Structure 1
Amino acid sequence: MLEDNNTALRARLHFFFLNIGHFVDHLLPLVFASVAALALTREWGLSYAQLIPYAIPGVVAFGVGALPAGWLADRWSREKMMVIFFLGIGVSAIATAMATTPVTIALGLFAIGVFGSIYHPVGLAMVIQGRQRTGVPLAINGIFGNLGVACAALFTSLLIEAQGWKAAFVWPGALTLLLGFAYIVFLLTGRRGKAGGEAQKRQDTVKGQSGFTRSHLVRIFLVVFASTALGGLVFQSTTFALPKIVDERMADMAVS
């Protein structure tokens, strides 16, 4: 009975780490949009339109990097890939705060994108791993991701106002690093008592056939690809445009 309670508690804690990871994964890549609109246009003397292209490598890495991240997770370890995600994106955010030119900040954003690409193919697979009912866990996890998007501009603007734009990268990065170390401790304590320290074997192999022909799968893939690509275009355009729009409207209100 006690062992069952301990297992259930660890499962809830693991789910918590995955949810916070999704929050961070959507928050950190969007910090730059608010930083560029509220601080860098004045500090570096560049327009918002001139600054935004430096975020493109990071956005591309965030998407393209998902394939090798998923491949590595399947052939190596999902848990270790999540450790790399937490530590990597945390260090990258702190390093981005040290940028002094548009090129160096682009390198930092690229690193954030590379490590951020790990979460969706790895973290989401872990959310549903071993579950018969996946709808509610995925919904809860999705809420945390959306909260990361919603809080990015708010947290960034507050940190810029209090300590400057560098703090908008340093504080979330440092907290993510601490979260990564806590996750390592969580994994290590869970492996005590296992022979040889080996991780538990996964039981999530797919059984049976899908019933779809190759042509059906191709059509489904094309529909999903087109819808997600267009949705992602609208989403990224909106999230990068809104900070500048709000900044300009607030300036107009202050003048009037």
Structure 2
Amino acid sequence: MDNTTNNTKLTAVYAAIGHLLMHMFAAFYFVIVLAIEDAWGYSYNELLNLWFLGSLLVGLGALPAGWLSDRWSRSGMIAVMFVGLGISSILCGFSSNKLMLFFSLSLLGLFCAIYHPAGISWVVNTSKETGKALGVNNIFGGVGIGLGAFFAGALIQLINWQSAFIIPGIISLITGVFLINHIRSGQISIVNITSEKFSKNPSKDQMLKIAIIMLISIACLSFVYQILQTSLPKVIDIRLANNLDLTTSEIGFIVAAIYIVSGLMNYIGGVLADRYSEKSVYIAGIIGQGCLLLFIISLSNVWLIVFSLMIVAFNSSILPAENLLLAKYSPEKYQSLVYGIKFIVSFSIGPIALLMISHSFEISGDFEYLYMIFGFVMIALFIIVLSLPSQQVKSGTAG
């Protein structure tokens, strides 16, 4: 590996901050929309759908972002992301009508698309204990979702909903300037670093089967992730707000706590994926989510928060195992392309999930049918993933 220790540490820091901010910007609208609903007088469904194109671009933009990061620079693309997210978020804060907010949110989604194909490749190619490194990095992604809800709730309460967009935008812009300076000073390489990893791949006759199973698994897990992330603030509002006398900011704090606590499970999941079979870690998280989704179908007490936390924790903790499986099953020269495809699938699920959530709320005023359907889907997925090849990546060979 041709980078210095200092470069590695700086890369890890910016990769972590990038993951945190990307997920913060992708998630905070689900809390902010509750305040805009009161301020503008539009329905929740109407305002939620303003994020439709943005959520679509988070997925569709992953492949070209991965292509550019491979052919130009991963660090350069992350710098572009920081600056773009900052400008887009500030524009959201200055929006005075639905059209401007729709445009700004769509731009925000486009810049969110950069992180995963560029950032995950950055981490994979500069780490020794890859599972642990991915786990730590994923913690920041989970914390970003929580901080998005926390800061949105806090800034709405202390100032207004506009500040919940503008202040994080300024932070992202400043971070981008710092990264650009580190690149220009040579402390972070503008040239991509390549690491020789995961050279042993399954036989060609297994590739199609593995690809189909992993695509199905990624899609199902993404549905659960998107449904929980989008519906959780509203389902807490519906089922618990009156009983527990919760304000919008307090709902934001609860969602923040759920994602921050569950995000810490990424580290444990990464360590387990380095030490044990990635497949075993993966399937345990899948069946856990399936069972718990069935438990929360009609819960309207504090156990809703507890079980929701556990579902998100399972969903988060198996991400290092999933990324290790993808790296191990993919030919090295196509690794970035595979990650790009993964995140196109993952985040292209967002708009579909958004429509499902919107229609579910319109029909029943709740989301219990979605929770039930995907509880059974995850149990079926558990059975399907059992047929993946069982191979173990030791921490020594992973990095």
TM bracket (short chain)? 0.7 to 0.9
- The equivalent residue for 1:31 is 28
Q: What's the C-alpha RMSD, in Å, of the aligned pairs?
A: 2.3
2:140 matched to 1:150?
no
Distance 1:201 1:226, change over 3 A: closer
Instruction: Give the Cα–Cα distance (whole angstroms) in 1 for the partners of residues 227 and 192 of structure 2.
Output: 42
Aligned residues: 243
Distance 1:252 1:206, change over 3 A: closer
Pairing partner for 1:134 from 130, 136, 144: 130
Q: Which amino acid aligns with 1:131?
A: S
Cα distance per residue 1:140-170 (max 9 Å; x no partner): 0011101111222111000001110011111
2:194 matched to 1:203?
yes
Instruction: Give the Cα–Cα distance (whole angstroms) in 1 for the partners of residues 17 and 216 of structure 2.
Output: 29
* TM score, norm. by length of structure 1: 0.87
- The equivalent residue for 1:3 is none
Distance 1:208 1:8, change over 3 A: closer
2:227 matched to 1:237?
yes
Instruction: Give the Cα–Cα distance (whole angstroms) in 1 for the partners of residues 142 and 153 of structure 2.
Output: 18
Structure 1 range deviating more: 114-123 or 223-232: 223-232
Instruction: Give the Cα–Cα distance (whole angstroms) in 2 for the partners of residues 23 and 57 of structure 1.
Output: 22
Please report how far the alpha carbon of residue 199 of structure 1 lies from its aligned counterpart in structure 2 after TM superposition.
Answer: 4.8
Distance 1:207 1:43, change over 3 A: closer
Contact 1:28 1:112 (8 Å CA) reproduced: yes
Instruction: Give the Cα–Cα distance (whole angstroms) in 2 for the partners of residues 218 and 240 of structure 1.
Output: 33
Q: Which amino acid aligns with 1:212?
A: S
- Runs of 4+ in structure 1 over 6 Å off: none
Cα distance per residue 1:163-190 (max 9 Å; x no partner): 1001111111100110000001111112
- The share of aligned pairs that are identical, in percent, is 30
Instruction: Give the Cα–Cα distance (whole angstroms) in 2 for the partners of residues 25 and 8 of structure 1.
Output: 25
2:4 matched to 1:13?
no
Which ranges of structure 1 fall in alignment gaps of 5 or more residues? 1-5, 193-197
Please report how far the alpha carbon of residue 10 of structure 1 lies from its aligned counterpart in structure 2 after TM superposition.
Answer: 3.3
2:218 matched to 1:221?
no
Distance 1:58 1:131, change over 3 A: same
Instruction: Give the Cα–Cα distance (whole angstroms) in 1 for the partners of residues 11 and 229 of structure 2.
Output: 30
Q: Which amino acid aligns with 2:220?
A: L
Please report how far the alpha carbon of residue 209 of structure 1 lies from its aligned counterpart in structure 2 after TM superposition.
Answer: 6.3
2:87 matched to 1:91?
yes
Instruction: Give the Cα–Cα distance (whole angstroms) in 1 for the partners of residues 192 and 36 of structure 2.
Output: 49
Q: Which amino acid aligns with 2:222?
A: G
Distance 1:68 1:236, change over 3 A: same
Contact 2:7 2:187 (8 Å CA) reproduced: no
Instruction: Give the Cα–Cα distance (whole angstroms) in 2 for the partners of residues 241 and 142 of structure 1.
Output: 22
- The equivalent residue for 1:167 is 163
Distance 1:201 1:52, change over 3 A: closer
Contact 1:94 1:170 (8 Å CA) reproduced: yes
Pairing partner for 2:43 from 44, 47, 55: 47
Contact 1:191 1:199 (8 Å CA) reproduced: no
Q: Which amino acid aligns with 1:149?
A: I
Instruction: Give the Cα–Cα distance (whole angstroms) in 1 for the partners of residues 191 and 38 of structure 2.
Output: 53
Instruction: Give the Cα–Cα distance (whole angstroms) in 2 for the partners of residues 64 and 51 of structure 1.
Output: 22
Contact 2:127 2:133 (8 Å CA) reproduced: no
Pairing partner for 1:189 from 175, 185, 188: 185
Equivalent residues in 2 for 1:94-109, closer than 5 Å: 94-109=90-105
- The equivalent residue for 2:54 is 58
Pairing partner for 2:64 from 56, 68, 71: 68
* TM score, norm. by length of structure 2: 0.57
- The equivalent residue for 2:115 is 119
